[in-house]
Amino acid sequence: MSRELRARIQQSFRTHSDFDAFLIDYFPAFAKRIGSAVDLVERVNLFLKLLDQDQMAYAARLLNLDRHGQQRLFFDEDGRWDRIERACRQQLVRMHDGSANEKPLLRRRHAERLGPFLEARYQQGGRQIQYAVALAPATLNAQWLHLVHDVMAERGLLSGSVRPCEVLLLGAGPRDPERKLAKQLGLRLRSLDDFENLIDFRAHVQRQTEKLSRDKHYPPSLYVPQRIQVSEGASFRFDRTTDQALETVREWLQDLSRPHFVMLLGDFGVGKTFLLRELTRTLGQQGKPPWPLFLELRQLEKANALRPLLASYLAQPEHSETIPVTDVEALLTMLSLGRVVLFFDGFDELALRVSYQRATQHLETLLQSVASPGTLAKVVVTSRTQHFLSLGDLEKGVSAARKTVLADRLNSVAISIGRLLPFEETQIQTFLLHRLGSEEAAAARMDLIRDIKDLLGLSHNPRMLSFIAELPESDLRQAKEREGTITAAKLYELLVQRWLHFEVMRADEKVPEPGLTYEQRMAAVTTIAIHLWGQTERGVALDALGSAVQGFLHDHECAQHQLGSGTLLKSDDAGRFSFLHASVLEWFVARAAQPEVVEGRFDLLGRHDLSPLMAEFVWGLAGKEPAAAWSDRVLLALDEDLGDRAGVLKHNALTLLKRLDRTAPERQNLAGQDLRGRDFLVVVEGD
């Protein structure tokens, strides 16, 4: 056993002082007898000669080393000392004078009556400062505090007011009498949570919580519990659905036994940002760790690693008053200890001016936080679904959707995935109740939404619902009765304008250089609508668009990204654009057709049949009289004058007149037209 013990000692102790500390802690009588030995080898030889068999076995058990070179029996098994040591190391790095020749020291120690503690030593201002860190028992009393003082004084670890020895409490902080006694004894008594707070985020989180509570775009009073599909792990098998998204994510974050990466997916406008803000706000209201930090990724620098990303966050001017130090290493340590939770909003907007090809690099940046061995980090990220599941496949159901290349990157971390779902009618009613303040007003508004064709379909998108709820009731009633100046077309125009102006404002607030203007967004979306109108394909790629649109898109870095995230379009993993709702597509085509209706031309409306809703849009935008005059002109024209689109044009003219409650002209030229399936009720008035 002597040879094996010698090998263990050589592995454990590299210096005289390390071995001497071991002897003082566990064999104090031997420490006095061999203290005059010249070098480490001689010390070890004398030590082994003095040991009997029982003492040798005891020393071997003490030196049963773990993977960190520390004795396994030295501390308890729940990892709390690992956490304390990690926090101590970070504090030493911050306090130690970098110009000093000696490195800071952190050593695990033991006292027979006290148990385990840490010895720390660093250089500051040309002198050596040392202190100790002990963990208080569940029942703390004055006798134990005096014991700590005596042990530390005996070991020469009391530095007085320069740096008092730390005594840490599990759970709540100390009571005033105990704190006062500890101070008199040269000790600092505080909670483990407080000790691990290498950066004091209390003021910052308080201001952040107040700011989120006052946010006019996401007022907490309007938040509605959201439905979410849940996948545990990166399988993307969403085998559970709950209507309590916020509580589900909070349960994931409360698991203190492991790191956790939470990915919140959803289409645009479905409420990802609102959920993330509510999570941050409610967690911040607790006023204790873990401290929530809300980061809008599009605001930060184009960082390709976690350290510069967090450095950019800490260095933001608005944080200078509430974050006392911009210490990235301290923040990373607190993250790994589970003392902070990072909430990243908008993964796909980490750098708004770059292409989708950067997405993989951005994702790796975020995954770094939970990938380190032994970390307890918690990170929550929002993203569009199409970055991780094929949008085309999603139309067949989430279970049939294929994972993208980005989704495969998630296999290496502990992850939970939530996919937010559109509002159901009960959620729409709840939102209206929150917005309007009474059940009667909410019920009346819900009836109006149902009575205006396809408006209920748009209301399932929470952001669009918020715009609809802001419309005056009188406007909705006019659109319902098809009277006055507000038609269904004008109603959609107001909603489209609000949406696009909101997105332009949001983009301009987040990036220094201008992105796509309102006019450019309108032009691009109109071009896509015209291309897709009447087609069986649901999406279109950029190279299929008109040259003018391609021109200004290519002139703006990441303009495709803005088009797919800042309009009423959505884009899939292949870069194909499609519409939030079919009625929105039809409105854009009707808007494009408005000049030719007014001018009496027959181009766009000769391509495909009008639906009843699109006919409403056409006359609502062009006006009743111009729409009626255009219809009469088409119906009175000869086929050879209209060309090969005569049949479509005359069907559309009849559809328009029906929606206008107008009579078709008595003389119509329908000769040679395929009249099967056509509706001619408008031409038999008086029969």
The CATH number for 215's domain is: 3.40.50
438 occurs within a structural domain: no
- Shared domain check, 327 and 309: yes
Q: Is the confidence at residue 572, as pLDDT, over 80?
A: no
Rounded CA-CA distance 273/420 in Å is 11
570 occurs within a structural domain: no
577 occurs within a structural domain: no
Strand order in the sheet with 291-296: 240-242, 228-232, 415-420, 260-266, 378-384, 340-345, 291-296
Residue-level pLDDT at 668: 58
DSSP state of 389: B
Strand order in the sheet with 115-124: 105-111, 115-124, 127-135, 165-169, 187-191
Number of domains forming the structure of the chain: 4
Last residue of a domain, one of 154, 181, 196: 196
Rounded CA-CA distance 26/51 in Å is 12
- Shared domain check, 167 and 308: no
Mean pLDDT of 401-425: 88
Q: Checking phi first, is residue 170 left (phi over 0); if not, alpha (psi -120 to 50) or beta?
A: beta
- Shared domain check, 385 and 291: yes
- Shared domain check, 296 and 252: yes
| Residue range 615-672, pLDDT digits in tens | 999 999 999 999 999 999 999 988 888 888 899 999 999 999 998 988 888 765 555 5
- Shared domain check, 117 and 226: no
Last residue of a domain, one of 376, 396, 420: 420
CB distance 96 to 128 below 8 Å: no
| Residue range 452-469, pLDDT digits in tens | 877 888 899 998 899 888
Residue range(s) defining the domain that contains residue 244: 202-420
- Shared domain check, 279 and 185: no
- Shared domain check, 92 and 54: no
Last residue of a domain, one of 162, 196, 230: 196
359 occurs within a structural domain: yes
CB distance 306 to 368 below 8 Å: yes
119 occurs within a structural domain: yes
- Shared domain check, 129 and 188: yes
Q: Could you tell me the pLDDT band of residue 173, with boundaries at 50, 70 and 90?
A: confident
573 occurs within a structural domain: no
- Shared domain check, 169 and 209: no
467 occurs within a structural domain: no
CA angle 341, 378, 403 (to 5 degrees): 125
- Shared domain check, 289 and 160: no
Signed CA dihedral, 261, 267, 270, 271: sign only: positive
pTM (two decimals): 0.76
Average of per-residue pLDDT values in the chain: 82
| Residue range 369-383, pLDDT digits in tens | 898 877 889 999 998
- Shared domain check, 350 and 236: yes
486 occurs within a structural domain: no
- Shared domain check, 379 and 400: yes
